[in-house]
Amino acid sequence: MTIGVWILGDQLWSEQAALQRRAIAKSNTPVILIESRQWVQVRSYHRQKLVLVWSAMRHFAEELRTDGWSVTYNIAEEFETPLNAWIQAEGITELFVMQPNDRPFVALLRSLELPCQLTLVPNNRFLWTADEFGQWAKGRKNLLMEYFYREGRQRFQVLMEGKQPIAGRWNFDKENRKPPKGKLDTPEPLWFEPDAITQEVMAWVQQGNFTSYGALEPFRWGVTRSHALQVLDTFIQTRLPTFGPYQDAMVTHEDTMWHALLSPYLNLGLLQPMEVIAAAEQAYYDHNLSLNSIEGFIRQVLGWREFMHGLYHHVDEDYPQRNFFDHQQPLPDFFWDAKQADMNCLRQVLTQVEHMAYAHHIQRLMILANFSLIAGLNPQEVENWFHAAFIDAYDWVMQTNVIGMGLFADGGILASKPYAASANYVNRMSDYCKSCRYKPTQRTGEAACPFNFFYWDFLDRHRSVLEQQGRTSFILKNLDKMPPEELAEIRQRAADWHNQRSPR
């Protein structure tokens, strides 16, 4: 009996479950990694995402070889042909694969016709298993991240004093919402120069016979666990101490602010959630850092990331097709070409995404997703773009974040209200409005900001539904105070905006 291990592209960890099974040993266990050109044709992925994944895979294969594993690395059009050839050549009778995070890949595994037994090994890349999340969610009327996060703090004893949170508070969000004022002294992020392996991948992507998006260069992301650990250390030392207050702020030409830039490495397996959480918590004790910065960051990993993953596996399989508001407007061309965006906030964020496949969480939620929601864009088209465009995007990440959090297309399974906001929010939390042709204070007239007329048009179109949402019902009363002719112009401007644009 010969056991083989297939390592997927987001499972790049030497202690991942399939490699750690007791029945296998390095010396006589064949391992395979496969790059599939067909798989990346599902959508127009950002070129830097492709480089990151494939370079990280190739580097990880080399690390496994150095560690004594027998590794085959295959570049092919699809998975099944090279996998079957390898199984037969190695005489493999049982193939171990760690349970994929993404449902589409689970479906792909089920469709494969293999000449051996396929064994899915439980995934050990998250702090909560899908079953544990299901037990937590069972019987709850509302699945609120806040309560999940608090239970996680207690369960793993993070920032706790016995059964109570340190300083007697679970949440420091109010201290972490400062608008950008004056000159901000933001720290430089840690970047890397592409080595020979990464340059080879970049050349392959450049000449690739598939549709892709975004700039290939400069590519500055890390591609190994060593790189990822250096980024973590840099964040802890130079960015975490002042991370909290301005984590929601958006500033022109400040692409990363104080953000950690760790999500690509966590989602690939190059970093593990508890080592990241532990490093942040230890920094609090060692250096007496501000608790709002520490708690705000840990909440993103222990709370939000684990909650998104657990919820993804908890909801029904039709979740990706949810469209609560029945929004059908096509995705505008400027999502794929930022130069076409005449709103400065959208142009700034989309240009940043084109250049580096990254934007921080408020840019994603309150600029890109917020606009998509109030403009009535089709949720599936929006989610597809998010999945294609971002360096840290995977199915389990984007379904709940975009369909649920960003667009409220799940009808409130995840969020307690739609995250809809007018230009007032953008103007308060960024400097984008200062250099825009539109006026953030106007909702009618030629200078009216689309965030404003779309916001009020959204409330008007969905009033009957939103009245049932307790947290938005009071805002709707402002519609009654609006002169009929003003509301009529708002409706017309929203309609005209869409009529002037065509999909990609």
> Can you give the CATH number for the domain in which 186 is found?
1.25.40.80
Reading the block at residue 246, the tokens are 């301005």
Q: Are residues 268 and 307 in the same domain?
A: yes
Same domain, 161 and 301: yes
> Are 35 and 63 contained in the same domain?
yes
Q: How far apart are CA 106 and CA 490, in angstroms?
A: 46
Classify strands 94-98 and 3-6 as parallel, antiparallel or unpaired.
parallel
Same-domain status, 399 and 488: yes
Residues 416 and 445 in one domain: yes
**Domain end marker among 121, 155, 184:** 121
Same domain, 116 and 91: yes
* Per-residue pLDDT tens digits of the chain, which is 504 residues long: 899 999 999 999 999 999 998 666 787 899 999 999 988 889 999 999 999 999 999 999 999 999 999 999 999 999 999 999 999 999 999 999 999 999 999 999 999 999 999 999 999 999 999 999 999 999 888 889 999 999 999 999 999 999 999 999 999 988 998 999 878 889 999 999 999 999 999 999 999 778 899 999 999 999 999 999 999 999 999 999 999 999 999 999 999 999 999 999 999 999 999 999 999 999 999 998 999 999 999 999 999 999 999 999 999 999 999 999 999 999 999 999 999 999 999 999 999 999 999 999 999 999 999 999 999 999 999 999 999 999 999 999 999 999 999 999 999 999 888 999 999 999 999 999 999 999 999 999 999 999 999 999 999 999 999 988 767 777 898 898 999 999 999 999 999 999 987 544
215 and 170 in a common domain:
yes
Same domain, 270 and 359: no
Work out the widest C-alpha separation in the chain, in whole angstroms.
78
- State phi, psi for 470 to the nearest 5 degrees: -55, -35
By DSSP bridging, strand 160-161 and strand 94-98 are unpaired
> What is the DSSP annotation of 285-338?
HHH---HHHHHHHHIIIIIIIHHHHHHHHHS-TTGGG--TT---BPPBGGGT-G
The CATH number covering residue 15 comes to 3.40.50.620
181 contacts: CB under 8 Å, gap ≥ 6: none
Instruction: Assign residue 356 the CATH number of its domain.
Output: 1.10.579.10
450 φ, ψ (degrees, to nearest 5): -55, -30
> Residue 171: inside a domain, yes or no?
yes
Q: Is residue 481 situated within a structural domain?
A: yes
Q: Are residues 150 and 244 in the same domain?
A: yes
For residue 251, being part of any structural domain is answered with yes
504 located within any domain: no
The two tokens of residue 172 are 């420091």
* Same domain, residue pair 114 and 97: yes
Cis peptide before 440 (omega within 30 of 0): no
> Is residue 74 in some structural domain?
yes
**Domain final position from 314, 345, 375:** 314
Instruction: Give the residue from 314, 339, 366 where a domain finishes.
Output: 314
List, in sequence order, every residue forming a beta bridge with 304; answer none if it has no partner: none
Domain range for 465 is 320-499
Answer yes or no: do 324 and 438 share one domain.
yes
User: Residue 321: helix, strand or coil by DSSP?
Assistant: helix
Determine, yes or no, domain membership for 265: yes
Domain count, the chain: 3
Q: Are residue 386 and residue 288 in the same domain, yes or no?
A: no
Q: Is residue 204 part of a domain?
A: no
Residue 201 inside a domain? The answer is no
452 near 443, Cβ under 8 Å? yes
